[in-house]
Structure 1
Amino acid sequence: MVLSELISYETLRFIWWLLIGVLLVAYAVTDGFDLGVGMLLPFAGRDDHERRVMINSVGPVWEGNQVWLILGGGAVFAAWPQLYAVSFSGFYLAMFVILVALILRPVAFKFRSKREEPAWRARWDAVLFASGLVPALIYGVAVGNVLQGVPFRFSSDMHIFYDGSFFGLLNPFALLCGLVSVAMMLMHGAAWLQLKTAGPVAERARRYGSWAAVATLVLYALAGVALWLWIDGYRVTSALPASGPSNPMLKTAALQPGAWFVNYAARPWLWAAPVLGLLGALLALVGLRARREVATLLASGLSIVGIVLSVGASMFPFILPSSIDPRASLTVWDSSSSHLTLFNMLVATAIFLPLIIAYTSWVYHVLWGKVDADAIRDERGHAY
């Protein structure tokens, strides 16, 4: 027996759907507080010293946090090539804007303190704010569009055509999802600042973080209601073998009101995801007001986990529905790489993912504790 045949094609597809979810959650939780701190920079930091304290709270870890984004992009490319082709071509301008923001962020980190002129540092502070806000907003907008369906289709020879536009992505529901993303990352960034800083910065972070937690609760609930009342979901209307060929055009699919809630009706335990999203934000709000530092960060992280997982739980088995040709929609069962490719990738992941997790955990352990504000003021032992 060939070693790869020990795990069925259906199982491998499902495992890789779960692993993509894990990578997305890991990125949202880790880089989420980086983006949140950037957005809070003009508000929680009132002078140059306070802003340097905030920057140094994320300075040693932000580069490592972005590893999860790189891993996620690589995994999509290798495990779900059709998803990669459609999303990275259809969302090209949106992806380009995100990349510009993510490229400018390290430049701002490195160059901000090279000169002492207030105008110089103010410009880089504006870059750090924008490089936090823009990705957070566009991530949510992208999710909102995926839930509504993306305007793509396949020709008879499986050539991909995207019939949408950049500004077409900025529809009301997608913008609402974008605001959910911004609010939850602001909440997470405030929780991080409460843990890593002290004094006025931490106090302001608690205040803004409390408002962000309330906004997360309200906006996420509104998005759920809007999804139920006004956004039609998708369902497969033909046979879809879980171990069938990777050809989306072999099935039929259709729009159906309330389809994104069918999985919750069939498997009530899936309600744990949206409940966790709401409960985590509520506990983060309580923790911010009660100054419970570690508990607040864990609660805000769990809220992000619940919100992200609720999208996957709603859409399964769809991973990218098509709004103009539902038959072309990509699902877990008809858009993956080959059985052998998925198996070989799984072996590599089983080896290297635990190493990445262990190293990341060690880094956070070494860097545990609050930023020394006096050391930054006295030019001792700071990075930025």
Structure 2
Amino acid sequence: MVLHTLIDYDVLRVIWWALLGVLLIGFALTDGFDLGTAMMLPFIGKKDIERRIIINTVGPVWEGNQVWLILAGGAIFAAWPQLYAVSFSGFYLAMFAILFALILRPVGFKYRSKRDDPAWRRNWDIALFIGGLVPGLIFGVAIGNVLLGVPFRLDQDLRIFYEGTFFELLSPFAMLCGLVSVSMLVMHGASWLMIKTEDPIAGRARMTGIAASLLTLALFTLAGYVLWGFVDGYRITSAIDVTGPSNPLGKSVDLASGAWFDNYISHPWTIVAPALGLGASVLACFALVANRPALAFTASALSITGIISSVGASMFPIILPSSVNPEASLAVWDASSSHLTLFIMLVVTVIFIPIILAYTTWVYRVLWGKVTERDITNSHTHSY
């Protein structure tokens, strides 16, 4: 018996759809508080030493946190090649902006304190702020465009043609999704700073986190309302072979108002995802008000998990709809790699993901504890 036949093709496709979501959530939970912390840097750190403390809460861990982004990109490339081709070519300028902003972070961390010049350090603080805001915003904008539909089409040879422009990505609904992303990451970053710092930084982070949690609740609710009443969703209306070869052109797809909510009606248990996004943001707010940083951080992580999971729950089985030719929309059943490829990738994932999790846990355990002014002043050679 060939080993990869031990798991059915349709099951592997669903597994890799779920694993892609896990990797994206993993990136948002880990690198998300890095981005949120960077967004708050110029506002919460009133003095240079305070800003150095803030930077040193994330400086030792940000590189490891970005592993999840690399894994997600690799998973898209190997498991969903057509998704990779459309998104990384159609969103090329947006991806370039994200990469440019992310590059500012390591440069800012390394060079900010090399000169004892207020103007020099202030400029690098702005660069770090941009390095947090731009990725956080554009990732959310990208999700908004996925829900709206991406302007691509396929010819009969399955060649991909993208017909959109960069500025078309900045629609009102997409920007609303970008603001949801920014607010939830600031909430997460504020909870992290409460854990890792002392007053007055922790106190300012607490107030910022309260505002961000309430804003996340309001914006996520508004985005759901707009998605329900004003955005046409995509619905597969023809039979589809869940174990057949990957050919997105073999199905019929209709657009309909409220179609993105079909799964919540047919599978009521999926309502857990948006309920978690909303409920956990409320819990994070209460935890911040009660000055319970560990609970606030856990709640903000759950809220992010729920918000991102809501997108997957709403869209399944579609993973990338086409606004130009809905029949060309990519679905879980017709846009994946081969049966053998998905199986080999799953075996590798089962081996290496636990290793990554164990190493990450060990690193955070070693680096656990608050970053104080004494840590910075007594360790010039080992602090940022």
CA distance in 2, matches of 1:369, 1:284: 21
User: Contact (CA 8 Å) 1:56, 1:382: kept in 2 or not?
Assistant: no
Alignment of 1:87-126 (within 5 A): 87-126=87-126
Which residue is 2:224 aligned to?
224
Find the residue that maps to 1:250 and give its secondary structure. Answer: coil
**Offset from partner CA, 1:100-144 (integer Å, 9 cap, x none):** 001111111111111111111111100000010000000000000
Letter in 2 for 1:167: F
Identify the residue that residue 346 of structure 2 maps to in structure 1: 346
Matches within 5 A, 1:3-22: 3-22=3-22
1:267 match? 267
Residues 295-331 of structure 1 show CA distances to partners (whole Å, capped at 9, x for unaligned) of 1100000000000000000000000000010000000
Between the aligned residues of both structures, percent identity stands at: 64
**Deviation readout 1:209-255 (Å, 9 max, x if unpaired):** 11111100000000000000000100111111110110101111110
Distance in 2, Cα, partners of 1:25 & 1:373 = 33
Q: Which amino acid aligns with 1:212?
A: A
Residue aligned with 1:319, SS? strand
Inter-CA distance 380–114: structure 2 relative to 1 (3 Å threshold) = closer
Q: Provide Cα deviations, 1:141-167, integer angstroms capped at 9, x if missing partner.
A: 000000010000011221111111100
**What is the CA distance between 1:378 and its match in structure 2?**
3.5
TM value normalised by structure 2: 0.99
Q: 1:1-384 alignment to 2 at 5 Å?
A: 1-380=1-380, 382-384=382-384
Contact conserved, 2:150 with 2:320, CA < 8 A, in 1? yes
Mapped partners of 2:241, 2:265: distance in 1: 22
Contact 1:152 1:161 in 2 (8 A): yes
Contact 1:375–1:381 (8 Å) recurs in 2: no
Counterpart CA distance in 2 for 1:383 and 1:27 is 25
Q: What TM-score do the two structures reach when normalised by structure 1?
A: 0.99
Say whether the 8 Å CA contact 2:198–2:372 is kept in structure 1.
no
The runs of at least 4 aligned residues of structure 1 exceeding 3 Å deviation read 378-382
Hey, what's the Cα distance between the residues in 2 that align with 1:380 and 1:124?
18
Q: Distance in 2 between matches of 1:383 and 1:338?
A: 47
Report the Cα offset of residue 380 of structure 1. 5.0
Q: Structure 1: which amino acid aligns with 2:116?
A: E
Letter matched to residue 176 of structure 1: L
d(CA) in 1 for partners of 2:276 and 2:382? 37
Q: Which amino acid aligns with 2:183?
A: A
- Distance in structure 2 (CA, Å) of the matches to 1:4 and 1:273: 31
1:291 alignment partner AA: N
Q: Which amino acid aligns with 1:152?
A: F
Whether the 8 Å contact between 1:375 and 1:382 is mirrored in structure 2 is no
Change (3 A) 1:114 1:381: closer
- Tell me the matched-pair count: 384
Q: Secondary structure at the match of 1:244?
A: coil
Equivalent residue letter for 2:122: A
C-alpha deviation, 1:97, in angstroms: 0.2
CA RMSD of superposed structures (Å): 0.8
Q: Specify the SS of the correspondent of 1:40.
A: helix
**Cα offset, 1:381, TM superposition:** 6.7
Paired with 2:381 and 2:207, the residues of 1 have a C-alpha distance of 29
Q: Report SS of the residue matched to 1:248.
A: coil
Question: AA paired with 2:246?
Answer: S
Deviation at 1:193, TM superposition (A): 0.3
Contact 2:263 2:313 in 1 (8 A): yes
Distance (whole Å) between structure 2 residues aligned to residue 316 and residue 190 of structure 1:
32
Q: Give the letter for the 2:160 counterpart.
A: I
Residue aligned with 1:249, SS: coil
The letter of the residue matching 1:371 is V
- What 5-or-longer segments of structure 2 have no aligned partner? none
